[in-house]
Amino acid sequence: MKNQRFIREVRDPSRRLLFLTIGVSILFFVLLMRLWYLQIVKAEEFQNLSENNRLRLAPVAASRGTILDRNGEILVDNLPSFSITVIPQEVTDKDGLLKSLSRLVGMDEAELAEKWLKGSKRSRYQPIILASNITRDQLEILEENRLSLPGLDVAMHPIRAYAHGLLGAHLFGHLGEISEQEMGNVRFKGYNPGDYVGKSGIERNWEKELHGINGGRQIEVDAMGRFLRTVSERSPITGNSLVLTIDLKLQKAAEAAFGEQAGAAVALDVNSGEVLAFVSNPSFDPALFAGRLPAETWNRYLTDKRHPLENKALKGQYPPGSTFKIITALAGLEEGLVDEDTTVTCTGSYKFGNRSYGCWNRKGHGTVNLRKALRESCDVYFYRLGERLGVDKLAFYATKFGLGKPLGIGLENEKAGLMPTKAWKEEKYGKKWLSGETLSVAIGQGYVLTTPLQLAAMTAVVATEGTVYAPHLVKRVVSPEGTVLQEFHPAVVRRESLRKETWRAVKEGLFAVVNERGGTGAFARLYEVKVAGKTGTSQVVKLSNRRGQIPYQYRDHALFVAFAPYDKPEIAVAVVVEHGEHGGSAAAPIAGKILRTYFEGTGVIKKPVIQKTYSSATPREISKKTETDTLVPEEQNAEEQNGYD
């Protein structure tokens, strides 16, 4: 009995002990299974996570490629820029640090504090940029006081250096920090936040070549995000260089020729379509966009009536004025409506319907043939020719010469200009085309709009007698090591075959504009080279009274297109001087200077031994020879009168 109780007492618990043993083993097995899951099944995933934990990629920005002119002169380059950064985690006395920093380098303490606040919202271990683009002096002061400024660091990154200051700013374009929107774009794959990208001009359109490949340092950090060591390093790869078609000397001369005047000039190599000069005046300082643009500069740019930020050569759309008469003449000749000897009598106005369309010369030009009509820019001749052609024929020919649509030069937002047709007006305004409007179009007024680039291209086609080249800005893409990666050869887009006599008659007329007595373009005359051209004055607003001082923004635009040499053309130029009033006096001299510089470059014109600037010497020389041309303003706009007649 006692024995049995003993057995029961012992055996019973030992059975329960067996259960406990099994239970214990099961729970251990659960742990083991979980470990299997984490360490075997999910091992790779967790290994990646642990790598991400410990490794950070510190981007190292690549230097952008340089931009060179056609002769290898540096236009845009890089230089090192220093910025002050701080890691909040490592700073114990924030206010003290900011105070001494502002005292040492002379920066606004409140501004520093604001930047700190903004930056520290991200992570206490990420460096905040307190000031970028600090001066050498500031850098030196910081280096000297490094020990008393714990947590501060100086970071170096390359920024753009513009070798010639404001020169070609619109063409080269400016850089800006990559926007959030751009970050999401596939075009900017591989870019880091804070990267600078081209925002306009060449910088923007050749971003892919210029940017280079960012490098990176893989650094090991601890749980606090503190730098421990560099694990691996990938050097950044400098972007490719661009050799432009631009000729620095020509660009410089063209910009200088504008002086304070607003406007645009484009010079093209007529035998290749290469853009030799691409000017929009006044310019802006692209370097200011690399850092934070000072508000006052920004305001100055915005309030300047001359619109320095606008790329006028590409986006400025101006009525071509009398330069359009080239098209009207070509169309008339080709259509057989006139020949060289066809004459028209200009009495100073032309009555069409119940309205009178005036010639700029109210006294009238008398008997006018094509040569004289071009030379003296007789409006009545072209009213009558335009009337017979009709607007659609005009548009047909204008389109042949590249007007009314973008040329595709490879810059952003190239403007198309406007070449109206009957159908266009019907669609746009739902109104029938009025025959009177054709008269305005025939002299480059009314709806017609052109860009300086289009005018240059149009002139180049006239110069080559129909060979249309694609205008382009980049000659070569060159790797940092100097290997040519891409070369852009002149490409003939199409040939416009007009009759030989058509070309000859118009070109003779254009020659007369510059070189004959009574010609409106005498200011562009060179004695060493035969220049042919056409003046233009395009109306900004209709004014009944043109006497006295007209406010700047209401003054007419002055235009001039030219090519040279007359016999064997090499270069075509288009100049627009905004509110310059008269093409012959405002735009032609600039074209003349550009042409002179060009032919000095080719050796055709010997530079005078005693350096004289043209502005003082040449025009006076010309004015002595052709007094009447220079004293009398060449043309007045036609519509000015007819609007009120």
Partner 1 sequence: MIDRRLFTNFDWGLLFLVLIIAGIGVVNIASATASYSMQDTSYAIRQVYWILIGLFIVIQVCSIDYHLFADVAYWFYGVLTVLLLVVLFVGKTTMGATRWLNLGLFSFQPSELMKIVIIMVVAHYLANFTAPGRLTLKDLVNPFLLLGVPAILIMKQPDLGTATLVVLIALSMILYAGIRLRAIVTLLLAALPTVFLGWHFYLRDYQKERVLNFLSPERDPLGSGYHIIQSKIAVGSGGLIGKGFMQGTQTQLRFLPEQHTDFAFSVFSEEWGFAGCLVMLLLYLALVLWGLNIARRCNDHFGSLLAVGVSAMLFWHIIINIGMVIGLFPVVGVPLPLFSYGGTSMITTMVGLGILLNIRMRRFMF
In the complex, what is the shortest distance from the CB of residue 36 to partner 1, in angstroms, rounded to a whole number?
A: 7
In the complex, what is the shortest distance from the CB of residue 162 to partner 1, in angstroms, rounded to a whole number?
A: 45
Nearest to 596 by CA among 587, 606, 584: 606
Q: Which of 63, 83, 272, 322 is catalytic?
A: 322
In the complex, what is the shortest distance from the CB of residue 58 to partner 1, in angstroms, rounded to a whole number?
A: 16
**Distance separating alpha carbons of residues 573 and 463, to the nearest angstrom:** 11
* Cα–Cα distance list, 24 to 35, 373, 560 (Å): 17, 112, 99
Closer to partner 1 by Cβ: residue 17 or 484: 17
Closer to partner 1 by Cβ: residue 6 or 527: 6
Tokens of 405: 């649509």
By CB atoms closer than 10 A (0-12, 13-18, 19+), residue 132 is: middle
Closer to partner 1 by Cβ: residue 16 or 517: 16
Instruction: Confirm if 573 and 510 have CB atoms less than 8 A apart.
Output: no
Closer to partner 1 by Cβ: residue 37 or 552: 37
**Distance separating alpha carbons of residues 575 and 255, to the nearest angstrom:** 11
**Distance separating alpha carbons of residues 217 and 645, to the nearest angstrom:** 76
Q: How many CB atoms lie under 10 A from the CB of residue 612? A: 11
Residues that bind partner 1 (CB under 8 A): 9-10, 12-14, 16-17, 20-21, 24-25, 27-28, 30-32, 34-36, 38-40, 42-43, 45-47, 49-51, 53-54, 220-224, 228
Tell me if residue 355 falls in helix, strand or coil: strand
Is 322 annotated in the active site? yes
* Cα–Cα distance list, 511 to 37, 295, 457, 533, 557 (Å): 89, 49, 18, 6, 23
In the complex, what is the shortest distance from the CB of residue 229 to partner 1, in angstroms, rounded to a whole number?
A: 11
Question: b vs e for 351-390, b when ≥16 Cβ sit within 10 Å of the residue's Cβ?
Answer: ebeeeebbbbbeebbeebbbbbbbbbbbbbbbbbbbbebb
Closer to partner 1 by Cβ: residue 42 or 292: 42
Closer to partner 1 by Cβ: residue 42 or 300: 42
Closer to partner 1 by Cβ: residue 228 or 302: 228
Element (H, E) at 487: strand 484-487
Report how far apart the first and last C-alpha atoms of the chain are (Å, whole number). 143
In the complex, what is the shortest distance from the CB of residue 230 to partner 1, in angstroms, rounded to a whole number?
A: 15
In the complex, what is the shortest distance from the CB of residue 27 to partner 1, in angstroms, rounded to a whole number?
A: 5
User: What sections of 121-186 are H helices per DSSP?
Assistant: 136-144, 169-172, 180-183
Closer to partner 1 by Cβ: residue 220 or 387: 220
In the complex, what is the shortest distance from the CB of residue 146 to partner 1, in angstroms, rounded to a whole number?
A: 24
**Rounded to 5, what percent of the chain is helix, strand, coil?**
40, 20, 35
In the complex, what is the shortest distance from the CB of residue 149 to partner 1, in angstroms, rounded to a whole number?
A: 24
Tell me if residue 262 falls in helix, strand or coil: coil
**Residues listed for the chain:** 645
Q: List, by residue number, the catalytic residues.
A: 322
